[in-house]
Structure formats: C-alpha cells, structure tokens
C-alpha cells in the first residue's frame, strides 16, 4: 500500500513537506501543488521552484501541471525530466476553482472529453516522462465521467487518482461514494483514491468498501492529524504516547521554516492552525485569540503557552 500526500495549494509546498518528513512517517510520495503552464518558449527555475530537487527533502515528489496547451505542457515536462530528473508528472483535471474552471482547465475540462483526447494525443508522443492524472467524477454531473474514462483508457497512463466529488461541489458536501463505486470499473488504469480521509476510521471504511484499491492520497486529513499516515500504515488508530512533544517539535520546525522563507509568515501559520486546532482540541475562544494576533511578541507568548501546556 502506498500513501501519497495530496497537492493542497497554499499548504503542502516544499517548506511544509520538508518539515513534515523530518518528523513523521507513513507517506511514501507527495504530489506537489500544481504548476501553471508557462506561455512561451522558456521555463525558468522560479516557475518550478517548489519542485527543485535541492529544496526537497523527500525525493519521491511528483510535480503537478495545470493547463490545456499541449506545446507548453511538453516544454514544461521536458524541463522537469531533462533538467530536474523527474520520472513522473501529474496532470490536474480536478481543480474546482471557478477562475480555472472557466478557462477549461482543471475540472473545467471534464465536460470536453474530445479536448482531453486531443491533448493526450499531442502530449504523450512529445514527452519521455510518465504521466498520471488526478480528476473528479465530473464538473456538473457524474454522467460526464464515462466518456472521460473511455478517453483515458486509450492512453498509457501511470495511474488515475479519483476524487469522488463534482467540480461544482468545490470541497463542500459529502463525497459521492455510490457514484464512485459505479464508475470505478470503467477505469482500466491503476486507481488511487482521494477524498475525505480524515481519520483512521475513515480510511478503514474506504478500504473495506473498495478492496481493489491499494493506494490512497491523503490531503486535509494530514493537516488535521499529522500522525494519520503512521496510524494507517501500522493498522493502529491509537496516537503515540509522545504525540504532543512530537507535534510541538514539528510545529516549531515548520514555523521557523516559514519565517525564514516569507515575509507574512504569521498569516500563513494562522491558516495551518485552523487545521492543527483539531488535533489539540482547541476551543473557539482560543482559536479567535490565535487568529486575532497581530504582533510577533503576542504570537510568541500565545503559541509557546499552547505548545508548553500540551507537552506537559
């Protein structure tokens, strides 16, 4: 069984990945947040900074590409393979953000299987790197999926990661597991499951329902509980006895790394705390204090106090 860290834009970048892999196990590889295609005839190191090998502690990182231009896609893939040594790239056909969908990118491409077929027919002969795809059940209806599956089955893809939501759902509402079960047999490639695995119980339920699936992509569940991949791999829902001291060391590492790499690091850490608060059981009043912090001095006193209280 392989566990894969999902590409969460704004969260699972190289800074987070490196801090995470220094303190936790269980994850076998990570798909990096998407790189938008560069229009033109040149790819710069700045464009692909997040996946530069020298900035990534875990070597099993898979770059993800977002876009619908074959020539630009080929150019970027050649850079990733020839210059950076990557052996796989993931194509994002699942992003539900409206500004992306409206340009027929991400899940906005799912109602247009003929467009996907044309692009795959142009891209694959022009690259030497393996191609995998991450997508949803459709943009507006699961009825879009069968034609997309037919297209994907015609091409030599490494894997298909399927998230059981529609694009119009964004990240809201329940995952559509009945619909996922209906379309799963349509895909001839290896399928990786992704979607709303927030706990060991969630994972067990998905694994039991879909025994043919061996690999799973974990996203927000890792932010809610950084120990989740270790629990899954061990087959044990219990948290380690030293959970809070380990979390504290991880958090300090992450904050120092963010502070060293960005000016507005406190705003970024507040976004992480919206997830971390679940593991620590923080109530609404304490979270409001975290979110309302303005000065670094106030932040340091509050966060240090929280971490110290949980380490005891």
pLDDT of residue 276: 95
Radius of gyration of the chain (CA): 20
pLDDT in tens, the chain (312 residues): 999 999 999 999 999 999 999 999 999 999 999 999 966 678 888 899 999 999 998 778 999 999 999 999 999 999 999 999 999 999 999 999 999 999 999 999 999 999 999 999 999 999 999 999 999 999 999 999 999 999 999 999 999 999 999 999 998 889 999 999 999 999 999 999 999 999 999 999 999 999 999 999 999 999 999 999 999 999 999 998 899 999 999 999 999 999 988 888 999 999 999 999 999 999 999 999 999 999 999 999 999 999 888 764
pLDDT of residue 125: 97
**CATH topology for 3-234?**
TIM Barrel (3.20.20)
The answer to whether 168 touches 157, Cβ cutoff 8 Å, is no
The answer to whether 29 touches 5, Cβ cutoff 8 Å, is yes
CA-CA distance, 15 to 3, in Å (whole number)?
Answer: 20
- Return the SS3 of 178: helix
β-sheet bridge partners, residue 89: 131
SS3 for 7-61 is: CCCCCCCHHHHHHHHHHCCCCCEEECCCEECCCCCCCCCCCCHHHCHHHCCCCCE
| Residue whose token pair is 């539900």 | 96
- Pair of tokens at residue 140: 């507006």
- Return the SS3 of 225: coil
CA-CA distance, 265 to 247, in Å (whole number)?
Answer: 19
- Pair of tokens at residue 30: 């990570």
Please state the pTM of the whole predicted model: 0.95
- Nearest C-alpha neighbor of 121 from the set 73, 84, 173, 170: 73
SS3 for 116-168 is: HHHHHHHHHHHCCCEEEEEEEEECCCHHHHHHHHHHHHCCCCCCEEEEEEEHH
pLDDT of residue 263: 82
pLDDT of residue 293: 92
What's the gap between Cα 191 and its chain centre?
Answer: 16
β-sheet bridge partners, residue 21: none
pLDDT of residue 311: 61
The answer to whether 59 touches 41, Cβ cutoff 8 Å, is no
Per-domain residue ranges of the chain: 3-234, 243-311
- Return the SS3 of 217: strand
């Amino acid at each position: 069984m392989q566990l894969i860290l999902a590409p969460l834009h704004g969260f699972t970048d190289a800074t987070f990945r490196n801090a995470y892999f220094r303190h936790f196990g269980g994850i076998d590889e990570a798909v990096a947040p998407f790189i938008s295609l560069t229009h033109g005839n040149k790819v710069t190191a700045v464009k692909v900074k997040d996946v530069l090998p020298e900035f990534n502690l875990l070597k099993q990182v898979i770059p993800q590409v977002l876009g619908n231009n074959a020539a630009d896609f080929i150019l970027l893939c050649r850079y990733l393979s020839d210059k950076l040594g990557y052996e796989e790239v993931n194509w994002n056909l699942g992003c539900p953000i409206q500004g992306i969908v409206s340009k027929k990118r991400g899940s906005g491409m799912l109602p247009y299987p003929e467009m996907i077929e044309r692009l795959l027919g142009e891209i694959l002969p022009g690259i030497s790197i393996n191609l995998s795809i991450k997508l949803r059940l459709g943009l507006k209806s699961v009825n879009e999926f069968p034609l997309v599956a037919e297209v994907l089955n015609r091409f030599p893809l490494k894997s298909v990661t399927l998230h059981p939501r529609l694009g119009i759902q964004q990240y809201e509402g329940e995952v559509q597991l009945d619909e996922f079960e209906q379309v799963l047999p349509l895909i001839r490639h290896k399928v990786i499951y992704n979607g709303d695995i927030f706990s060991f119980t969630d994972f067990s339920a998905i694994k039991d329902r879909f025994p043919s699936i061996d690999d799973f992509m974990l996203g927000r569940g890792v932010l809610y509980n950084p120990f989740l991949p270790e629990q899954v791999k061990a087959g044990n829902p219990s948290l380690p006895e030293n959970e809070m001291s380990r979390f504290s060391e991880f958090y300090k590492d992450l904050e120092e790394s963010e502070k060293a790499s960005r000016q507005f690091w406190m705003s970024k850490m507040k976004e992480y705390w919206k997830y971390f608060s679940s593991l620590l059981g923080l109530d609404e009043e304490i979270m409001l204090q975290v979110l309302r912090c303005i000065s670094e001095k106030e932040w340091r006193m509050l966060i240090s106090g929280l971490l110290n209280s949980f380490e005891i």
